[in-house]
Amino acid sequence: MQRLRQFVPLLDQLADYEQEQLQGDLSAGLTVGVMLIPQGMAYALIAGLPPIYGLYAALVPLVAYALFGTSRQLAVGPVAMVSLLVAASVGPIAGGDMEQYIALTLMISVMVGLFQFILGVARFGFLVNFLSHPVLSGFTSAAALIIGLSQLKHLLGVDIPRSNYIHEILISAYAKMGAIEPTTLALGLGSIALLVVLKRWKKAFPGALVAVVLTTAAVWAFGLHQNGVAIVGDVPRGLPDFFVPSFELDTIQSLIPATLTIALVGFMESIAVAKVYASRHRYEVDANKELIGLGLANLFGAFFRAYPTTGGFSRTAVNDQAGAQTNLAGLFSAVVIALTLFLLTPLFYYMPKAVLAAIVMVAVFGLIDIEEARYLWRVDRKDFGLMMLTAAATLSLGIEEGILVGVIVSLIAIIHEISQPHTAVEGRLPGTETYRNLQRNPEAMTRASVVVVRMDASLSFANAATFKDLIMELDVKDPELRAVVINMYPVNRVDSTGAHTLHEIIEDCRRNGVDIYFAGVKGPVRDVLAEAGVIEQAGIDHFFHEVHDAVETASDEAPGDIREAHVRSPEAVPSS
């Protein structure tokens, strides 16, 4: 039984289940289920699918995640971001054929599910760390604009060609200003106002359902669909049938970039919100098990006509506020969707598409992270630039291209950071044996004949040249300089290139009459230096536990007067 619990986390959650938890799960399940009905249909429109596919995506995936997911509050289902990625990737391939479009979408669901499942089983959850927070923030904010503006055609009641470029959408909308359908616009704007007011009043209140009921009733009562208001129309009744997508090698190859993007972005969105609520409720979520849970949700869902799903921010917040205690809440939400498919789909006939557009706009414009931009501007201008670059690339180049640019620039920034680590020349604080960065501690004392240097990183092939330059640029030919003490406390690892570099530093410095001493070398690093012959070359008597001892020994061998702090080559030492 214990082994089964490892594969089915829900069993572990139900081991000590109490009646109070059941009440919370039931309340949350019903609330989120009701919320999912209009929201799922709205997100299906973003994905370019008939609205009913939003309900299909809110059924089997919820059941699968409830069984295999580890987050107790995460609400899985269709989300705006993944819906947009689906539309951006499938639209150009389908060629306007809706049957082909649906088949390709379900094929992506299978591929996303398999990819996430394999990553989870292989314990590759760490790969998602390559999507840094500034990149995701920039991508999400830009995509939110594209998603929101993509609904203008439903809000205005005009035909605007599908596009993933914001300027094309705005230009097309401006060109159709004279053809706006006023009743449709009134329904859309009224729905937006109602949703905003209800959301500010109470987040857990199903405002979307209220807007849908009121606008649908208005269309039915006044016959607005006969006067130009676009409606959903016939919605199939019943549960989705079992469907096996067809797989062709050429098609699979063309969908691989979209699969990777959807799988990783969907997982990032899900794990980010899952960790927030896990911390709040004091339990752990396992990134690899989450990949498995989401992978199975997408994989099983694909065979029952569900397009790719993941955990959503807004629904998870509502799920938590409504009292969700375990994954059982997701099963209750799935029951609500199943009953809706069985009994209520005829009621959707008169639902105006304008209200679905309003639901999407209110939901996604909240994803534009202005506060994060302000925070990064204050704290880290480099990350702010990364966020803005990703947003600009997404808006100008496209959805997949935008996040690809963000990831590539992130990797370049990481490589640059590794190759140019923080370095310092140190001096002794007066009255102590403590050595600190001269740039930050101008009162620190130095000796004319001895310089202490420090690099705050492991010594590897990526930064070995930088470290050598630091020491050589201290002007080793200065007649006063007799010794360099390398503070090795921050160095956790030295690779073969780093060891070769230390050999070169010792040789070059001694050629110029400067000796090299080491302080604070950790055990594993010392083992590498011994195997590489660095200790033998430098001399065992040149290694010390404390920087001060190394300085005193070097000073005894190369006497010099203590003097005021100075940096020999300011241009070679970072100011931070």
Do 206 and 326 belong together in one domain? yes
Torsion sign over Cα 92, 93, 97, 99: negative
Buried b (16+ CB within 10 A) or exposed e, 323-333: bbbbbbbbbbb
393 in the same domain as 348: yes
| DSSP collapsed to 3 states, 81-129 | HHHHHHHHHHHHHHCCCHHHHHHHHHHHHHHHHHHHHHHHHCCCHHHHH
Q: 9 in a domain, yes or no?
A: no
**CA atoms of 210 and 191, how far apart (whole Å):** 9
**What is the separation, in whole angstroms, between the first and last Cα of the chain?**
56
* Structure token pair of residue 281: 């409720």
**Exposure of 495 in the CB half-sphere (CA atoms within 13 A):** 9
Number of domains in the chain: 2
Residue spans of beta strands (DSSP E) within 392-500: 423-428, 435-437, 445-447, 450-455, 483-487
Residues 339 and 265 in one domain: yes
Spatial distance between the Cα atoms of 278 and 283, rounded to a whole number of angstroms: 5
Considering the domain architecture, whether residues 384 and 513 belong to the same structural domain is answered as no
Note whether residue 392 is domain-resident: yes
Same domain, 62 and 156: yes
Residues 362-382 as b or e (16 or more Cβ within 10 Å = b): bbbbebbbeebbeebeeeeee
Domain match, 144 and 215 both: yes
* 329 belongs to a structural domain: yes
CATH number at residue 456: 3.30.750.24
CA distance 235 to 249: 33
Kindly give, in sequence order, each residue whose CB lies less than 8 Å from that of residue 130, ignoring residues fewer than 6 positions away: 407, 410, 411
* pLDDT, one tens digit for every residue, the chain (576 residues): 566 777 888 888 888 888 888 988 998 899 889 888 888 998 998 899 999 999 999 999 999 999 999 999 999 999 988 998 898 889 888 888 899 999 999 999 999 999 999 999 998 877 766 667 788 788 878 888 888 888 898 899 888 887 777 888 889 988 988 889 999 999 999 999 998 998 888 776 778 888 989 999 999 999 998 888 999 888 889 999 998 888 888 888 989 988 998 998 889 888 878 888 888 888 888 889 999 999 999 999 999 999 999 998 778 888 888 888 999 999 999 999 999 999 988 988 999 999 988 988 887 787 788 888 999 999 988 899 989 998 999 888 877 788 788 888 888 888 888 888 999 999 999 999 999 999 899 998 888 889 999 999 999 999 999 999 888 887 655 678 889 999 999 999 999 999 999 999 999 999 888 999 999 999 999 999 999 999 999 999 999 999 999 999 998 765 544 444 444 333 333 333
Segments forming the whole domain that contains residue 186: 21-413
- Of the candidates 413, 443, 466, which is a domain's last residue? 413
Residues 6+ apart with CB under 8 A from 412: none
With a CB cutoff of 8 Å and minimum separation 6, the contacts of 251 are: 93, 104, 107
Q: Do 63 and 81 belong to one domain?
A: yes
End position of a domain, from candidates 354, 383, 413: 413
- Classify residue 324: in a domain, yes or no: yes
Domain termination site, one of 377, 393, 413: 413
Residues 135 and 269 in one domain: yes
β-strand partners of 347? none
Q: 61 near 301, Cβ under 8 Å?
A: yes
134 domain-assigned = yes
Residues 6+ apart with CB under 8 A from 122: none
Tokens 């029951």, residue?
335
My answer on whether 116 and 179 are in the same domain is yes
For every residue of 275-305, which 3-state class applies, written as one string? HHHHHHHCCCCCHHHHHHHHHHHHHHHHCCC
CA atoms of 164 and 418, how far apart (whole Å): 35
- Please count the other Cβ atoms lying within 10 Å of the Cβ belonging to residue 173: 17
Query: Considering the entire predicted model, what is its pTM?
Result: 0.74
Residue 441: count other Cβ atoms within 10 Å of its Cβ: 18
Residue 563 — left, alpha, or beta (φ > 0 → left; ψ -120 to 50 → alpha)? beta
295, 120 in Cβ contact below 8 A?
A: yes
Does residue 5 lie within any of the structural domains?
A: no
Whether residue 15 lies inside any domain: the answer is no
Query: In what helix (H) or strand (E) does residue 372 lie, and over which residues does it extend?
Result: helix 370-379
The residues, any chain, with a CB within 8 Å of residue 345's CB and separated by 6 or more, are 52, 235, 236, 237
Cα–Cα distance list, 197 to 208, 314, 492, 537 (Å) = 11, 16, 55, 75
